[in-house]
Amino acid sequence: MSSVDVVINGAGLVGACLARGLADRGLKVAVIEAIERQANHQPSYDDRTLVVNQASLNILANLGLLPDALPREPLRHIVVNRAGQPGFFELKASDHGCDAFGAVIVARELGNVLLDALAQHPAITLLCPSRLDSFQVGTDAVTITLSDGETLQARLLVGADGNESRVRRLAGLNCDKHDYGQSAMIFNIRPEKPSTGTAWERFTPQGPLALLPQPAGRLGVVWIDAHSTIDEAMGWDDNRLCQRLEQRFGQRLGRFEQPGRRARYGLVRQRTEWPIARRVVVVGNAANAVHPVSAQGFNLGLRDAAALIDQLTGSQDAGDWEGLRAYARTRADDQAATVRYTDTLARAFTNPSGLANLLSGAGLFAHAALPALQRRLVRAAMGFREPVSSLARGPAEIPRKSP
């Protein structure tokens, strides 16, 4: 039976970043992943467009996972509006004393960097393809049994295994789950008019629509609607897809053409208030999954990873109960606030009632008109809600006041 400090179940974006960070700090790490090591096959390494906020860029850079060759588009301007309703606001990074709010990165491109990082690190053992079957927690270690009968021991087991986390379920961690009854369809497209550095979020009665700038002048599209509508849209030909996108977004960017491959996923909210058990912790979507409105999901999970790396650095026992409790307390406010914020946005802007429309419109006007509200929104959206992990600090620091 092999023995390591930490076993991570799941080699998606968050799990891979966590593995690299822990290994760099002298811990022996094993990563269990069911999908073979190819970015085209790993579900979280798809064509999804990640809005990576500034704190997350700092984390990736400090982990050595943000090479100059990684394609990314700085995000300097955000425009938010509502279809057929009053209410509009925009944010400019220069108004808040920073060059950019973050950057847009295609998940597959980051996934390729992470696959190399896992394969090349001498302190990381990648068990792939393999599946976690069960685990038993003892006084000093947790024993993990894989689907092929192999066993290994670790001081700590981390569940980074997504919405349907097997680790969370086997550990008996309580998770409050809400199904939004919607799916997101993602693809990229070329607009007639360039939109360099600008992200667009348009709220419609059917659900939000986001257009996010990618390198080479393309846009990543996140189209949210009822499951049945997305089912139908997945079967449209390219011409019809472009026409319907123009109808839903408007003419500000002209005509759309050359859509890329489409993918879809269902939308849920999950909240695990206490993400730890004896020698077990869950991070990322395994702990808290959020609606993609405002693009906070990956950023929230990466902050989990950064905080756990901080907590385990220098620890003699990675699964020490007091250390896990300290981690859970450190992350509690940020996790709760992010889940609450995204859930409120998702519900408010798709509520058909007149009062809800009035209040959501008033909220947009308030953020547009009041600098103090804008600063608070920008600070949280850039990932700098206290306490800020050591990895999240870097050359681009926390915005304080508009100049």
Contact 159, 10 (CB under 8 A): yes
* Residue type at position 241: L
Residue 48 pLDDT: 82
Question: 3-state DSSP call for residue 118?
Answer: helix
Residue 209 CA to residue 197 CA, distance in Å, equals 17
CATH code, residues 2-177+268-392: 3.50.50.60
Residue 369 pLDDT: 47
Residue 268 CA to residue 210 CA, distance in Å, equals 18
Q: What is the DSSP string of 14-41?
A: HHHHHHHHHHHTT--EEEE-SS-S-TTT
Residue 340 CA to residue 2 CA, distance in Å, equals 41
Residue 215 CA to residue 213 CA, distance in Å, equals 7
Contact 48, 94 (CB under 8 A): no
Q: Which two tokens stand for residue 92?
A: 């400019």
What CA–CA distances, in Å, run from 215 to 39, 99, 189?
A: 19, 17, 11
Question: 3-state DSSP call for residue 327?
Answer: helix
Residue 330 CA to residue 390 CA, distance in Å, equals 13
Residue 301 burial by Cβ neighbours in a 10 Å radius (0-12, 13-18, 19+)? buried
Residue 364 pLDDT: 47
- Write down the residue that tokens 């058990």 correspond to: 277
Taking only the tens of pLDDT, the chain with its 403 residues reads: 689 999 999 999 999 999 999 999 999 999 999 987 654 545 555 678 899 999 999 999 999 999 999 999 999 998 888 776 655 678 889 888 889 999 999 999 999 999 999 999 999 999 999 999 999 999 999 999 999 999 999 999 999 999 999 999 999 999 999 999 999 999 999 999 988 899 998 888 888 899 999 988 899 999 999 999 999 999 999 999 999 999 999 999 999 999 999 999 999 999 999 999 999 999 999 999 999 987 899 999 999 999 999 999 999 999 999 999 999 999 999 999 999 988 887 776 554 444 444 444 445 445 444 455 566 667 777 898 889 999 999 865 555 443 3
Q: Which residues pair with 49 in a beta bridge?
A: 106
Residue 10 CA to residue 208 CA, distance in Å, equals 29
Residue 96 CA to residue 375 CA, distance in Å, equals 7
DSSP 94: G
Contact 95, 402 (CB under 8 A): yes
pTM score, whole prediction: 0.91
Residue 352, C-beta contacts closer than 8 angstroms, at least 6 positions apart: 205
What CA–CA distances, in Å, run from 395 to 4, 54, 89?
A: 34, 10, 28
**Rounded-to-10 torsion of CA 95, 402, 302, 222:** -30
Residue 120 CA to residue 139 CA, distance in Å, equals 33
Closest CA relative to residue 354, chosen from 90, 86, 88? 86
Domain range list for the chain: 2-177+268-392
Contact 265, 183 (CB under 8 A): yes
> 149: number of CA atoms within 13 Å, CB side?
0
DSSP 314: T
Task: Please give, one letter per residue, the 3-state secondary structure of 211-250.
Answer: EEECHHHCEEEEEEEEHHHHHHHCCCCHHHHHHHHHHHHC
Residue 74 CA to residue 301 CA, distance in Å, equals 21
Q: Burial letters for 264-285: b for 16+ Cβ neighbours within 10 Å, e otherwise? A: ebebbbbbbeebbbebbbbbbb
Which helix (H) or strand (E) element contains residue 354? helix 354-369
- What are phi and psi for residue 36, nearest 5 degrees? -60, 155
